[in-house]
């Protein structure tokens, strides 16, 4: 195992007392697995992508959902772009819901697994063949500005990086696409699929989770720390304050200190099957939503 550098300090023991013991709400309605979640701040609602071919909206505080899109194939990715809701489908189609109607684009020839809106208000889409697309918008019309072919395998996740766009893929790698459109070699973080990667600005490191159940901490190609955090695939990771939240195939949702990388706590029996999706939201951004193979979405107050 790589050595642990002096990046992390001891955890505050009192912080562990702040975690929710039960969900505020359980949202049911999907007839298949919940694969992705997003928060729509404009409509104060959660948006979910399901294996049942439905993208649904759930108003904050309510348990009744409304279908925005329906298809015979699963939706694997969902995001919100200002007043638009976008869903990525198994067919490679991009569904776009405007306040008045919806439009379908066909930018990919493989399933869309990742959607992301960056700080420059551009949309990114990634598919199962390693193809990445960048989009601009003109009102409610979308324009595919450019595409890149990568060797990452399935594009699983996008996030922001100081040099550009951080991408995680099925090859187990993460890499960076810079603002000039150059794809920089990243790191072989995991032996199998890398499901997500996040740049931690305070320590200038990249955190990633993979199919191997591990959390990796890396600076460029240098491995600083490897932790076994779940019994199997780590499907999502996100940060909230000084806490890293992870979820995985082992049905668990866990919290880790970003100061020390110590385990803090885990949610009590969050789901009965694999936890595939996780996002932050709510009117004040302090609610965590989790989605599972058990077809439910749960909302937790942090």
pLDDT, block means (10 residues), the chain with 302 residues: 40 52 95 98 97 98 96 98 97 95 96 97 98 96 96 97 97 96 92 96 96 95 94 97 97 96 94 98 96 98 92
Rounded Cα distance between 174 and 181, Å, is: 16
Closest CA relative to residue 188, chosen from 164, 161, 231, 152: 152
Q: Which residues on neighbouring strands pair with residue 137, listed in sequence order? A: 142
> What pLDDT is stored for residue 52 in this prediction?
98
The secondary element (H helix, E strand) that includes residue 2 is: none
Q: Spell out the residues 6+ positions from residue 276 whose beta carbon is closer than 8 angstroms to its own.
A: 33, 34, 35, 36, 235, 236, 247, 291, 292, 293
Angle CA 66–28–95, to nearest 5? 40
Rounded Cα distance between 1 and 172, Å, is: 18
Helix runs in 114-252, H state only: none
Cβ of 286: how many Cβ atoms within 10 Å? 13
Rounded Cα distance between 156 and 252, Å, is: 20
Token look-up 């729509």 returns 40
Q: In what order do the strands lie in the sheet with 296-301?
A: 25-28, 296-301, 287-292, 275-281
Rounded Cα distance between 209 and 172, Å, is: 9
pLDDT in tens, 18-27: 688 899 999 9
Instruction: Assess contact for 138 and 123: CB atoms under 8 A.
Output: no
Instruction: Assess contact for 237 and 207: CB atoms under 8 A.
Output: yes
Q: Which CATH superfamily is domain 22-301 in?
A: YVTN repeat-like/Quinoprotein amine dehydrogenase (2.130.10.10)
Closest CA relative to residue 50, chosen from 62, 60, 36: 36
> What pLDDT is stored for residue 296 in this prediction?
98
**Residue 8 burial (CB < 10 Å; 0-12/13-18/19+)?**
middle
The secondary element (H helix, E strand) that includes residue 139 is: none
Q: Spell out the residues 6+ positions from residue 72 whose beta carbon is closer than 8 angstroms to its own.
A: 53
Displacement of CA 228 from its chain's centroid (Å): 20
> What pLDDT is stored for residue 210 in this prediction?
98
Rounded Cα distance between 265 and 160, Å, is: 27
pLDDT in tens, 167-177: 999 999 999 99
Where exactly are the structural domains of the chain?
22-301
Token look-up 């110590």 returns 262
- Tokens representing 139 are 């009102």
**Residue 148 burial (CB < 10 Å; 0-12/13-18/19+)?**
middle
Q: Spell out the residues 6+ positions from residue 232 whose beta carbon is closer than 8 angstroms to its own.
A: 211, 213, 248, 249, 250
> What pLDDT is stored for residue 5 in this prediction?
35
> What pLDDT is stored for residue 133 in this prediction?
98
Displacement of CA 275 from its chain's centroid (Å): 12
């Amino acid at each position: 195992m790589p050595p642990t550098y002096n990046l992390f300090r001891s955890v505050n023991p009192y912080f562990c007392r702040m975690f929710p013991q039960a969900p505020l709400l359980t949202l049911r309605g999907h007839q298949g697995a919940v694969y992705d979640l997003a928060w729509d701040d404009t409509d104060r609602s959660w948006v979910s992508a399901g294996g049942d071919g439905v993208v649904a909206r759930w108003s904050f505080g309510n348990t009744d959902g409304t279908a925005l899109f329906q298809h015979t194939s699963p939706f694997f990715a969902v995001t919100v772009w200002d007043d638009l809701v976008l869903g990525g489908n198994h067919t490679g189609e991009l569904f776009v819901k405007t306040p008045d109607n919806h439009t379908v684009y066909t930018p990919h020839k493989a399933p869309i697994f990742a959607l992301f809106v960056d700080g420059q208000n551009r949309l990114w889409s990634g598919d199962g063949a390693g193809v990445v697309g960048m989009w601009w918008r003109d009102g409610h019309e979308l324009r595919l500005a450019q595409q890149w072919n990568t060797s990452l395998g399935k594009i699983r996740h996008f996030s922001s990086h100081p040099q550009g766009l951080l991408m995680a893929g099925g090859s187990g790698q993460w890499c960076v696409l810079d603002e000039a459109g150059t794809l920089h070699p990243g790191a072989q973080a995991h032996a199998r699929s890398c499901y997500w990667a996040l740049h931690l600005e305070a320590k200038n490191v990249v955190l990633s989770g993979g199919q191997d159940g591990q959390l990796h901490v890396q600076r460029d190609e240098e491995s600083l720390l490897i932790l076994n955090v779940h019994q199997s695939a780590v499907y999502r990771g996100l940060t909230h304050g000084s806490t890293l939240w992870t979820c995985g195939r082992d049905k668990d949702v866990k919290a880790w200190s970003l100061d020390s990388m110590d385990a803090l706590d885990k949610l009590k029996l969050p789901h009965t099957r694999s936890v595939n999706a996780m996002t932050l939201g709510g009117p004040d951004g302090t609610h965590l939503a989790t989605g599972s193979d058990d077809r439910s979405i749960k909302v937790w107050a942090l």
